[in-house]
């Protein structure tokens, strides 16, 4: 398992204060730097790796390197953690928007902000809100989830389930029929469609092996494949591609769409009847903090408010804005947003992600499943007034996620459409959501037994399957109260597809080696900006590519073995390995029945 040229881990190089025990296995976890070593008071003058930017990828990388034994200095020019993945208060967003429009935050443009007077001087304070710059959902079976468990970073975090995935079609939100049981019991589905759907689901769980079925369609679009091969109708095709697969347009190729659809299905029922999770108090901003803390416990040094000014690849000295310097023996890793002035190596960020984040004063509880405060609404191509060609995704989080106060809700809309069309599409989606919400919250619903269920405590819940359908004619009589609206365009070098392919994160090798006279960033390796991807799928792949460039191999990427007697670690370990293979393993034969095998061993 360990290659001979692998660098010794910290535990091997510097034995733990406590490990005067007998069997120093190579997997003994490094000692607790924070607990045992009073730290030196001065800035380190020499480190193995310097990382600038505390976004998701950089933070996962810092933790992986720290536990591997590298001496890491991790800085951020901002006074907060998260960089491109930050979770910010309203006041921090105000500052950020100004910086974007001044041009001092690269890779973001065209930021527009409205903040109601109710925030700050009214009934809400800036700190009541945690707005993610690039919100994400976590699939229950994913590489990042397995690393969260292995690294124990999950212990710093709290998660809630996300089971509601709606498709917007014909001015109406359809809830997904996403389980076998639901397909069987759905009265609206013709028998033939049910059979075809079941056949497809069975196929997709083990699609790679069945080349005879998909190979002839490898270069065709997914919708052709579903219609021709599985005889599915448009509603099912759209559901599979856009709500389950969360793909971005109708041109998506067959293998990628299959992989994305399987991601959803294999994640279902891992923790319960839902495929995805959301972290409380914020998404990637919260996870980055967790990984940074883990890195710090593993020995990394943290310094916010520190900007890289230049790196000299000959002397290997990095200079910071406050005049301090550090010698970097291995690599300097920099987020594009943290590039020094006079930098000439920042990769081209050719793809746009358009985002609109709104806070609405309305609990919207009817959009959530009971016990949840998250939902996903997908607007497929052609479903909006604007005649959208690309999908608009709306990720909705309520007060239960602790990112906004009781009675309010956050809508994160985004699209992969490029150019001026994007804002029109997003506006059309916003309008559709607004109309739907106004219709639902209007009076008259209580008498319709079919769509209203009474909860034990007297609250009414609208059955989301029918949202919008029955009240089309109802004229909205009031406007929604928007507390906050933030629009911006983010640029990235990562295309909105295939993010699990490492080649996207390894494309700039020539650029890195080139020496440009006068550049302040010769010899620096740049990370990638977050893509439009709504899941965390790209994070681990991107971090691994960088890790391999530094360490030489990714064999010991989070090769941690925390021993622990009172947790259910034995079962957990079995599990994490299975999670890891979920995304890119070719012969992954985990299926819905199969997932019962390993969970069966769990002690709960």
The interface with another protein within residues 304-343 (CB under 8 A) comprises 304-306
Smallest distance, another protein to C-beta of residue 329, A? 20
Which of 53, 69, 135, 290 contacts another protein by CB under 8 A? Answer: 290
Which tokens hold the place of 107? 């890779």
181 touching another protein, by CB under 8 A: yes
The strand ranges marked E within 171-303 are 173-175, 276-279, 301-303
Smallest distance, another protein to C-beta of residue 198, A? 18
Nearer to another protein, 232 or 560 (CB): 560
Q: How many residues bind another protein (CB under 8 A)?
A: 76
What is the Rg, in whole angstroms, of the alpha carbon atoms belonging to the chain?
A: 25
Select from 486, 527, 536, 532 the least CA-distant residue to 508. 527
Containing 498, the helix (H) or strand (E) segment is none
CB 544 within 8 A of CB 58: no
Containing 412, the helix (H) or strand (E) segment is strand 409-415
The interface with another protein within residues 184-223 (CB under 8 A) comprises none
Nearer to another protein, 397 or 426 (CB): 397
Nearer to another protein, 96 or 471 (CB): 96
Nearer to another protein, 150 or 439 (CB): 150
Select from 342, 435, 425 the least CA-distant residue to 382. 425
Distance CA 285, CA 89 (A): 11
The interface with another protein within residues 396-435 (CB under 8 A) comprises 400
How are beta strands 138-139 and 276-279 bridged, if at all? antiparallel
The strand ranges marked E within 499-591 are 524-526
160 touching another protein, by CB under 8 A: yes
Which one of the spans 231-239, 307-315, 518-526, 557-565 is the region binding another protein (CB under 8 A)?
557-565
Which of 202, 303, 316, 549 contacts another protein by CB under 8 A? Answer: 303
Smallest distance, another protein to C-beta of residue 101, A? 25
517 touching another protein, by CB under 8 A: no
CA torsion angle 446 451 454 460 (round to 10) = -60
Which of 156, 351, 482, 491 contacts another protein by CB under 8 A? Answer: 156
Binding track over 441-480 against another protein, x by CB under 8 A: ---------------x------------------------
CB 413 within 8 A of CB 358: yes
Distance CA 11, CA 31 (A): 7
Nearer to another protein, 57 or 250 (CB): 57
Which of 122, 216, 273, 444 contacts another protein by CB under 8 A? Answer: 273
Binding track over 32-71 against another protein, x by CB under 8 A: xxxxxxxx-x------------------------------
Distance CA 129, CA 491 (A): 25
């Amino acid at each position: 398992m360990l290659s001979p040229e692998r660098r010794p881990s910290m535990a091997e190089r510097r034995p733990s204060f406590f490990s005067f025990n007998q069997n120093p296995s190579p997997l003994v976890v490094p000692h607790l730097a924070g607990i045992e070593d009073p730290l030196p008071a001065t800035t380190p003058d020499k480190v193995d790796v310097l990382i600038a930017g505390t976004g998701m990828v950089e933070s996962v990388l810092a933790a992986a390197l720290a536990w591997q034994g590298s001496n890491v200095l991790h800085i951020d020019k901002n006074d907060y953690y998260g960089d491109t993945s930050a979770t910010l208060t309203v006041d921090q967003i105000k500052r950020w928007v100004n910086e974007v429009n001044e041009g001092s935050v690269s890779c973001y443009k065209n930021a527009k902000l409205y903040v109601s007077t109710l925030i700050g001087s009214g009934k809400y304070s800036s700190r009541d809100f945690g707005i993610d710059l690039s919100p994400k959902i976590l699939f229950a079976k994913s590489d990042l989830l397995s690393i969260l468990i292995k690294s124990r970073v999950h212990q710093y975090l709290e998660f809630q389930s996300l089971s509601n995935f709606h498709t917007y079609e014909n001015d109406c939100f359809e809830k997904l029929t996403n389980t076998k049981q639901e397909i069987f019991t759905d009265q609206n589905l013709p028998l033939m469609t049910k059979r075809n759907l079941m056949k497809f689901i069975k196929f997709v769980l083990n699609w790679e092996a069945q080349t005879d079925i998909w190979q002839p369609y490898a270069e065709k679009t997914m919708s052709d494949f579903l219609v021709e091969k599985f005889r599915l109708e448009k509603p099912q095709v759209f559901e599979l591609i856009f709500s389950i697969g969360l793909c971005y347009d109708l041109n998506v190729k067959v293998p990628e769409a299959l992989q994305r659809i399987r991601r959803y299905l294999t994640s279902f029922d891992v923790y319960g009847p839902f495929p995805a999770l959301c972290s409380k108090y914020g998404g990637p901003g919260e996870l980055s903090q967790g990984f940074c803390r883990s890195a710090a416990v593993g020995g990394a040094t943290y310094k916010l408010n520190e900007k890289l000014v230049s790196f000299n690849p000959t002397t290997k000295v990095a200079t910071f804005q406050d005049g301090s310097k550090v010698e970097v023996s291995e690599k300097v890793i920099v987020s594009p947003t943290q590039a020094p002035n006079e930098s000439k190596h920042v990769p081209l960020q050719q793809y746009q992600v358009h985002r609109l984040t709104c806070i609405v004063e309305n609990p919207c509880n009817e959009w959530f499943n009971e016990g949840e405060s998250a939902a996903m609404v997908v607007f497929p191509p052609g479903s909006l007034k604007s005649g959208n060609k690309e999908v608009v995704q709306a990720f909705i989080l309520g007060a239960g996620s602790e990112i906004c106060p009781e009675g309010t809700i956050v809508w994160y809309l985004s699209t992969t459409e490029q150019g001026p069309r994007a804002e029109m599409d997003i506006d059309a989606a916003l309008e559709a959501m607004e109309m739907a919400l106004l219709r639902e919250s209007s009076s008259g619903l209580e008498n319709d037994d079919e769509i209203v269920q009474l909860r034990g405590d007297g609250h009414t819940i609208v059955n989301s399957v029918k949202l919008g359908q029955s009240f089309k004619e109802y004229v909205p009589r009031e406007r929604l109260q928007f507390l906050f609206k933030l629009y911006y365009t983010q640029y990235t070098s990562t295309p909105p597809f295939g993010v699990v392919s490492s080649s996207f994160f390894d494309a700039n090798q020539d650029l890195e080696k080139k020496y440009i006279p006068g550049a302040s960033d010769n010899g620096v390796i740049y990370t990638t900006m977050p893509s439009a991807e709504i899941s965390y799928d790209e994070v681990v792949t991107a971090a691994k590519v960088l890790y391999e460039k530094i360490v030489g191999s990714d064999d010991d990427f989070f090769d941690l073995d925390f021993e622990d007697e009172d947790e259910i670690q034995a079962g957990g370990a079995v599990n994490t390995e299975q999670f890891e293979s979920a995304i890119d393993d070719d012969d992954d034969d985990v299926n819905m029945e199969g997932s019962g095998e390993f969970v069966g061993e769990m002690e709960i």
